[in-house]
Amino acid sequence: MEEYYYYYIPQPPFLLVGLGLFIALTSGLAFQSTLKLKARGIVANNESIRKQLSVIDLQLPLFGIGMGMSIFLASGLEVFFIPAWFAYSLSLPLTIGTVGLLWKQLERVFMILREGGSKALEVDSFNIF
C-alpha cells in the first residue's frame, strides 16, 4: 500500500486585506473630518501645536489608519505566501514610520499656517524634515 503525503497550502487572507483597507479608509475619513473641525482652532490659538494635536479626537483615527494600513500591508504580503510573522514584522515598522512622518508633517503645516496664513502654503515649500 502506498503512502501519500499531502501538503496543504493555507488559504490567503483575502478577508483581512479587505478589512484592513476598510479600517484605514473609514479611519481616514474620520481623521479628515475631525481635522477640518479643529484646524481653525489650532491655528488661531497661541498654545503649543503639539499640545493641541495631542487630543484623543485626532489620535484615535490616526491609530485606526495605522492599524488598517498594517493589516492591509501584511495581509497583502501573505497573499503571496509570505509567512505571517515576516509580513507583520515588515509592515509594522513601515506603518509606524509612515504615521510618524505624517504626524510630523501635520505639525509643520500648522506651524506654517500659524506664521504666514494660508498664502504661506506653497506646493514647492514642503520638505519631509
Is residue 65 domain-resident? Answer: yes
Is residue 4 domain-resident? Answer: no
What pLDDT was estimated at residue 91? 96
**Residue 8 and residue 17: Cα distance in Å, rounded?**
21
Instruction: Specify the 3-state DSSP secondary structure of 49.
Output: helix
- Average pLDDT of the chain is 85
Does residue 49 have a pLDDT over 80?
no
**Residue 73 and residue 84: Cα distance in Å, rounded?**
11
Is residue 118 domain-resident? Answer: yes
Domain count, the chain: 1
Is residue 104 domain-resident? Answer: yes
Give Cα separations from 21 to 33, 94, 129 (angstroms). 18, 16, 28
Is residue 5 domain-resident? Answer: no
pLDDT digits (tens, 9 = 90+) for 61-119: 999 999 999 999 999 999 888 888 999 999 999 999 999 999 998 888 888 877 776 66
Share of the chain above pLDDT 70, in %: 87
Tell me if 27 sits within 8 A of 68, measured CB to CB: yes
Nearest Cα neighbor of 66 from 23, 34, 14, 32 is: 23
The domain containing residue 47 runs over which residues? 14-125
What pLDDT was estimated at residue 118? 63
Instruction: Specify the 3-state DSSP secondary structure of 18.
Output: helix
Is residue 25 domain-resident? Answer: yes
What pLDDT was estimated at residue 57? 85
Cell readout for 26 is 473609514
Is residue 71 domain-resident? Answer: yes
Is residue 27 domain-resident? Answer: yes
Q: Which residue has the cell 498654545?
A: 47
- Please state the separation of Cα 21 from the chain's center in Å: 11
Tell me if 112 sits within 8 A of 121, measured CB to CB: yes
